[in-house]
Structure 1
Amino acid sequence: MAEDSAYSKKDEAVDHVYTKDGTVDYHGNPSNKRKTGTWKACPFILGNECCERLAYYGMSTNLVLYFKKRLNQHSATASKNVSNWSGTCYITPLIGAFLADAYLGRYWTIACFSVVYVIGMTLLTLSASVSGIRPVCHGEENCHATVGQSAVCFVALYLVALGTGGIKPCVSSYGADQFDDADDAEKEHKSSFFNWFYFSINIGALIASSLLVWIQDNVGWGWGFGIPAVAMAIAVVSFFSGTRLYRNQKPGGSPLTRISQVIVASFRKFHVEVPADKSLLYELADAESAIEGSRKLDHTNDFKFFDKAAVQIPSDNAKGSVDTWRLCTVTQVEELKAILKVLPWYTYKRAIGTLR
Structure 2
Amino acid sequence: MEEANNQSKKWEQEEISNEMNNWELTEEESVDWRGRPSNPKHGGTRAALFVLGLQAFEIMGIAAVGNNLITYVINEMHFPLSKAANIVTNFVGTIFIFGLLGGYLSDAFLGSFWTMLIFGFVELSGFILLSVQAHLPQLKPPECNPLIDQSSCEEAKGFKATFFFMALYLVALGSGCVKPNMIAHGADQFSQSHPKQSKRLSSYFNAAYFAFSMGELIALTLLVWVQTHSGMDVGFGVSAAAMTIGLISLVSGTMFFRNKRPRRSLFTPIAQFTCSSWNLRDECSWNFLVEPSTIRTIREFSFYCLFTLVIQAFII
TM-score by length of 2: 0.79
In structure 2, list runs of 5 or more residues that go unmatched.
1-10, 284-303
2:125 alignment counterpart? 119
The answer to whether the 8 Å contact 2:140/2:156 transfers is no
Residue deviations 1:302-324 (CA, integer Å, cap 9, x gap): x996577667xxxxxxxxxxxxx
Q: 1:136 is matched with which residue: 132, 139, 142?
A: 142
Q: Does 1:28 align with 2:35?
A: yes
* Aligned-partner Cα distance in 2 for 1:214–1:7: 59
Query: Which letter maps to 2:209?
Result: Y
1:51 aligns to 2:57 (yes or no) = yes
Name the residue aligned to 1:83: 89
1:235 aligns with 2:265: no
Cα RMSD (Å): 3.1
Does 2:208 correspond to 1:220? Answer: no
How far 1:259 moved relative to its partner? 3.2
Distance in 1, matches of 2:245 and 2:220, equals 19
CA distances 1:282-328 after superposition (whole Å, capped 9, x unpaired): xxxxxxxxxxxxxxxxxxxxx996577667xxxxxxxxxxxxx6834
Show the counterpart of 1:180.
191
Q: Is 1:207 aligned to 2:218, yes or no?
A: yes
- Of 36, 43, 64, 1:37 maps to 43
Number of residue pairs aligned between Structure 1 and Structure 2? 280
Q: Residue 6 and residue 204 in structure 1: after superposition, are their counterparts in 2 closer, same or farther (change >3 A)?
A: closer
Rate the CA distance shift 1:61–1:14 in 2: closer, same or farther, 3 A: same
Offset at residue 255 of structure 1 (A): 2.3
Q: Which amino acid aligns with 1:113?
A: F
> Distance in 1 between the 2:35 and 2:20 partners?
17
Taking a change above 3 Å as real, the CA distance of residues 123 and 305 of structure 1, as seen in their structure-2 partners, is same
Cα distance per residue 1:213-247 (max 9 Å; x no partner): 12222221111111001111111111111111000
Q: Which amino acid is the alignment partner of residue 15 of structure 1?
A: N
Residue 81 of structure 1 and its aligned partner are, at CA, apart by 1.1
Q: Distance in 2 between matches of 1:241 and 1:140?
A: 46
| Residue type at the aligned position of 1:196 | A
Distance, in Å, in 2 between the alignment partners of 1:155 and 1:203 is 29
Q: Is the 8 A contact 1:135 1:146 kept in 2?
A: yes
Does structure 2 retain, via aligned residues, the 8 Å contact 1:69–1:140? Answer: yes
Residue 339 of structure 1: aligned partner: none
- Which string of whole-angstrom CA distances, capped at 9 and with x for unpartnered residues, describes residues 178-222 of structure 1? 011122221111111111111111111111111111222222111
- Counterpart code for 2:42: T
Question: Could you tell me how far apart the structure 1 residues matched to 2:230 and 2:170 are?
Answer: 25
2:66 equivalent to 1:60: yes
* Structure 2 counterpart of 1:111, one-letter code: L
Are 1:14 and 2:30 an aligned pair? no
Q: Name the structure 1 match of 2:179.
A: 168
For the 8 Å contact 1:19–1:180, the answer to whether it is kept is no
Name the amino acid aligned to 1:68. Answer: I
Look up the match of 1:190. 201
Q: Which residue of the partner structure matches residue 301 of structure 2?
A: none
Q: Does the 8 Å CA contact 1:97/1:170 hold for their aligned counterparts?
A: yes
Q: For the residues of structure 1 that align with 2:307 and 2:31, how far apart are their CA atoms? A: 32
The alpha carbon displacement at 1:257 in A equals 1.5
Describe the SS at the equivalent of 1:61: helix
* Aligned partner of residue 168 in structure 1, secondary structure: helix
Distance across 2 between alignment mates of 1:219 and 1:36:
43
Shift of 1:145: 5.2
Percent identical among aligned pairs is 33
C-alpha contact 2:78 2:141 (8 A) present in aligned 1: no
* 2:139 partner SS: coil
2:75 is the counterpart of 1:69:
yes
Q: 1:270 to 1:11 in 2, by over 3 A?
A: farther
Cα distance change of structure 1 residues 306 and 239 upon mapping to structure 2, 3 Å threshold: farther
Deviates more, 1:210-219 or 1:184-193: 210-219
Q: Tell me which amino acid in the other structure corresponds to 1:327.
A: I
Q: How far off is 1:254 after superposition?
A: 2.6
Residue 169 of structure 2 corresponds to: 158
Whole-angstrom distance in 2 between the partners of 1:52 and 1:135? 30
Residue 327 (str. 1) matches residue 315 (str. 2) = yes
The alpha-carbon deviation at position 135 of structure 1 amounts to 3.8
**Is 1:255 the counterpart of 2:270 in the alignment?**
no
1:80 deviates by 1.1
Higher relative contact order (CA 8 A, sep 6+): 2
Distance 1:41 1:60 in 2: 29
Q: How far off its partner does 1:123 sit?
A: 0.2
